[in-house]
Chain A
Amino acid sequence: MKDYQLAWKNLWRNRKRTLITAASVFFAVFLALIMRSFQLGTYQKLYSDVIESYSGYLQLQSSEFLDEPGLDNGFVVDESMIARLEADPEVTAVIPRLESFALTASGSRTQGVMVIGMDPEKEHDGLNMRNRMVKYKLTPGAVASLKTEVLPERSARLLDLLINESYTNEEKMLLDLGLSPGDSSAFMPLLRKHASFENSYLSSSDTASAIIGSGLSEYLQAGVGDTLVLMGQGFHGTSAAGLFVVKGIVSLPTPDIDNVFVYLPIEAARWFYAAPGMATSAIINIRNREDKVLFKTQERLNEAVGEELKVRNWRELNALLLNQMEADNKSGAIMLGILYLVIAFGVFGTVLMMLAERRREFGMLVSIGMQKHRLAKVVSLEMLMIGLLGVLAGVAASLPLVFYGNDRPLRFRGEMAKMYEDYGFEAVMPMLQPDSYYLWQVVIVLLIIAVAVAFSVRKILKLNIINALRA
């Protein structure tokens, strides 16, 4: 009989205890993976939302801009330098931006906003702007009309929760309405009929047009065709004032951005802020976004831009967000720590009981000729089998949920959604697909098992046969 066969048989000598221990490991791994998947998925979404809709992965700025953002720390765009940066093999485009604050008003409502002067075409290439334009909106009128049509009962109920929700694509709207992509042909004509949203993107030649975030549009009650008044401080303290017609509405993933962003063509922004030829930053589009490659690219570009300008990476640009996430991550780690501590006690309880119960048997086995290290190996295999049983079951049970949660993120409504948005986050919790965090949970459980194994091995190696036989 091989050692693993003996270990397997031993495992089932106390079936209930084995199952309870394996179940405790299972629940720890399962809960830890689900918790971690939600947490990391939310972080990843937040990072990619902010990076891909606003900051970009690399940005060219004046060296002082990061500490003191403002027009006065802008720079004059040097086309030859832009060409030099674009010549780098990793860089696909350099997109200058002029951004500053202003006060906007529409009708009787005013709001402090961030004005982004950008090149519409390049910004689309770099940050996918055109695809962020609102294509469908469930206005109260649209919802009322849809309710007169034949819709699945659940979708009709969900419509009330989705009033004023904007969509940039059909898939997300169908998902929110509880419809599958297969229902598209049956229901999309209805949705197109009642909820389509007329919208236009900016062009470089527009001089008095703007696109605004859907959150801002809702607050200002300003739709396409309405006029915004913008007032602010221009370059070197000049007064900035202008009228801009809302040409389109974009839906930006982060409420903090969606509620305050006004996009103008860069020439219009330069005119508005009296900053001809200037930019406050330039998004640098790159081919490879992996941190390792990205940091090398940053280093290379920094050598090309000279002293007064600096290429910043997404971590530097979003330091506050990263800090917030890091703090949140720590609290998650504490929760996981508590969870694993409970499991560790459970596993140790099993080990202690098992060692006490089988002490006499261990004494007998060593008496009749089983080497202590071999006995320790059998007991270690038992512990490992219990651990692996729990870990594998936990991983297997979590996988379908994690893939589902990644494909169909948990979306909050009502008060919960409001709370999320108040914190500046979209009320969505996606799950991160299995990644290195899976491996880490397995490693942690195996470490707990390893400590339990080390404890039992030590006990067996120090076993006094005479005392054990008397037990």
Chain B
Amino acid sequence: MKVVEINDVCKTYHDTEVEVKAVDGVTLSFEKGDFAVIVGPSGSGKTTLLNLIGGLDHPTAGEIIVAGHRLSELKPSQLIDFRMEHVGFVFQSYNLIPVLTAAENVEFIMNLQRWPKEKRKARTDEMLQSVGLSDRHKSRPSQLSGGQQQRVAVARALAPRPEFILADEPTANLDTKSAETLLDIMEKLNREEQMTFIFSTHDVRVMKRARRVITLEDGKVVSDIRTNHNS
């Protein structure tokens, strides 16, 4: 089942007098349960492509269909609701809400979605346990290590059961041990919850775990390899 369809998508920036094609005629699709990474040198268009899939940015040309929604047809406020319902985001720099505890951060999106309190609490407990932080419910982000914060961010993204997770360089700020732990958790959730993960990364550790590696150069897909790696 296709979760994401990208058809001949372009994104051109006119920041200066120079026209920059960040994404240039990309056609891709992602299936439910994919564990895919988008790789490529800096400026190759990885993050831009991720932003386009997540509805954070609009393509200059082409079409993106996510979970049956044609993104170009959605108004800005509908796009926000779309992201809340269907997309989970994991950012490079964790981006937790500093005034909330780990549990409150995990609950946040479910709160926006108006989940009943009991259901919300149960899912929060479950997610924090999944990421190995069941003893850090009440810790604020400032009381957690970088790896722990990123695990909370993953729990937050996964808790409301989105269609897929977009993770932009999730291990970039983590040490080896923390990165491995995080990837273990993501693989486990991918396996157990059939959650689709789309990463953008430079990190070899992530590439090694991926079952699909898409390489971008100058905004174009230069390779799309399905590996034999079996999680």
A and B are interacting partners: yes
Any A CB within 8 A of the CB of B178: no
B109 at the interface (CB under 8 A from A): yes
Contact B91 A364 (CB under 8 A): yes
Chain B: minimal CB distance from A368 (Å): 6
From B95, B98, B100, B112, A369 is in contact (CB under 8 Å) with B112
Q: Are A371 and B91 in contact (CB under 8 A)?
A: no
- Cβ-defined contact, A368 with B109, below 8 A: yes
Contacts A1-B104, A465-B56, A466-B56 given; does A368 touch B99 at CB 8 Å: no
Cβ–Cβ contact A13 & B91, under 8 A? no
Since A13-B98, A361-B97 are in contact, a sample of 16 more A-B pairs with Cβ atoms closer than 8 Å, ordered by chain A residue number, is A1-B104, A1-B111, A6-B99, A9-B99, A13-B99, A360-B95, A364-B91, A364-B95, A367-B56, A367-B89, A371-B77, A466-B51, A466-B56, A466-B57, A469-B56, A469-B91
The residue from A1, A367, A466 contacting B83, defined by CB atoms under 8 A apart: A367
SS class, residues of chain A in contact with chain B:
helix
A-B contact pairs, 13 of them (CB 8 A): A1-B108, A6-B100, A361-B95, A361-B97, A361-B98, A364-B91, A369-B81, A369-B113, A371-B80, A372-B77, A372-B80, A466-B51, A469-B56
What B residues does A369 contact at CB under 8 A?
80-81, 83-85, 109, 112-113
Which B residues are in CB contact (< 8 Å) with A372? 77, 80
Q: How far apart are the CA atoms of A367 and B89 in the complex, in Å?
A: 8
Across-interface contacts of B80 in A (CB, < 8 A): 366, 369-372
Contacts of B169 in A (CB 8 A): none
Q: Determine the interface band of chain A, counting residues with CB < 8 A from chain B.
A: 20 to 34
Number of B interface residues at 8 Å Cβ cutoff, please give it.
27
Contacts of A6 in B (CB 8 A): 99-100
Once bound together, how far apart are the Cα atoms of A369 and B54, in whole Å? 11
CA of A369 to CA of B115, assembled, Å:
14
Given contacts A1-B111, A9-B99, whether A368 and B104 have CB atoms under 8 Å apart is no
Q: Which residues of A contact B97 (CB under 8 A)?
A: 361, 365
Asked if B24 CB lies within 8 Å of chain A CBs, one says no
Can you name the residue of chain B whose Cβ is closest to the Cβ of A1? B111
Q: Is B107 an interface residue (CB 8 A)?
A: yes
Task: Decide yes or no whether A12 CB sits under 8 A from chain B.
Answer: yes
Whether a CB of chain B sits under 8 angstroms from the CB of A10 is yes
Q: Which residues from B are CB-within-8-Å of A465?
A: 56-57
Residues on the B chain within 8 Å of A360, using CB:
95
Which residues from chain B contact A368 at a C-beta distance below 8 Å?
Answer: 83-84, 88-89, 108-109, 112, 156-157
Q: Are A371 and B57 in contact (CB under 8 A)?
A: no
Complex Cα spacing A369 to B113, Å: 9
> Using a CB-CB cutoff of 8 Å, which residues 147-182 of chain B contact chain A?
156-157
Nearest B residue to A364 via CB reads B95
Binding site for B on A (CB under 8 A): 1, 6, 9-10, 12-13, 360-361, 364-372, 465-466, 469
A10 CA / B104 CA spacing, docked (Å): 13
With A and B bound together, what is the CA distance between A156 and B109 in angstroms? 74
Interface centre among A361, A367, A369, A469 (most CB of B within 10 A): A369
Question: Given A1-B107, A13-B99, A469-B91, are A367 and B54 also a contact pair (CB < 8 Å)?
Answer: yes
For the complex, give the distance between the alpha carbons of A10 and B84 in Å.
Answer: 22
Q: For chain B, residues 38 to 62, give those with C-beta under 8 angstroms from any C-beta of chain A.
A: 51, 54, 56-57
On chain A, the residues within 8 Å of B77 by CB distance are: 371-372
Instruction: Please indicate which of the listed interface residues A10, A360, A364, A365 has the most CB atoms of chain B within 10 Å of its own CB.
Output: A364
Tell me the nearest residue of chain A to B92, going by C-beta: A469
Give complex CA distance A466, B98 in Å. Answer: 20
**Measured CA separation A9–B101 after assembly (Å):** 11
Which residues on A sit within 8 Å (CB–CB) of B91? 364, 469
Chain A residue numbers with a CB within 8 Å of B57 are 465-466
Distance in angstroms between the alpha carbons of A313 and B47 in the assembled complex = 78
* Nearest 9 CB-CB pairings of A with B: A369-B84, A364-B95, A9-B99, A13-B99, A369-B83, A465-B56, A369-B112, A371-B80, A367-B89
- Nearest CB on B from A92, distance (A): 66
Residues of B within 8 A of A370 (CB): 80, 84, 112
Residues on the A chain within 8 Å of B108, using CB:
1, 368
CB within 8 Å of A: which B112-128 residues: 112-113
Min CB distance B36 to A, Å, is 20
A371 touches B81 (CB 8 A): yes
Contact with A along B61-99 (1 / 0, CB 8 A): 000000000000000010011011100110100010111
Select A10's contact among B88, B99, B107, B109, beta carbons within 8 Å. Answer: B99
Instruction: Give chain B nearest CB distance to A441 CB in angstroms.
Output: 31
* Minimum CB distance partner of A2 in chain B: B111
Interface residues as binary, B119-143 with A (CB distance below 8 Å gives 1, 0 otherwise)? 0000000000000000000000000
> Distance in Å from the Cβ of B224 to the closest Cβ of chain A?
25
CA distance A377 to B90 in the complex (A): 25
Give the chain B neighbours of A371 by CB distance below 8 A. 77, 80-81
Q: Report A377 CB to chain B, min CB distance, Å.
A: 13
In the complex, the answer to whether B81 meets A12 with C-beta atoms within 8 Å is no
Give CA–CA (A372, B78) in the complex, Å: 11
Q: How far is the CB of B52 from chain A (nearest CB, A)?
A: 10
Contacts of B113 in A (CB 8 A): 369
**Chain B 174-218 interface mask (CB, 8 Å, partner A; 1/0):** 000000000000000000000000000000000000000000000
Chain A residues closer than 8 Å to B157, beta-carbon distance: 368
B166 nearest CB neighbor, chain A only: A367
What is the bound-complex CA distance between A371 and B156, given in angstroms? 17
B104 closest partner in A (C-beta):
A1
**Most chain-A CB neighbours within 10 Å: which of B57, B97, B111?**
B97
Chain A's closest residue to B51 (CB) is A466
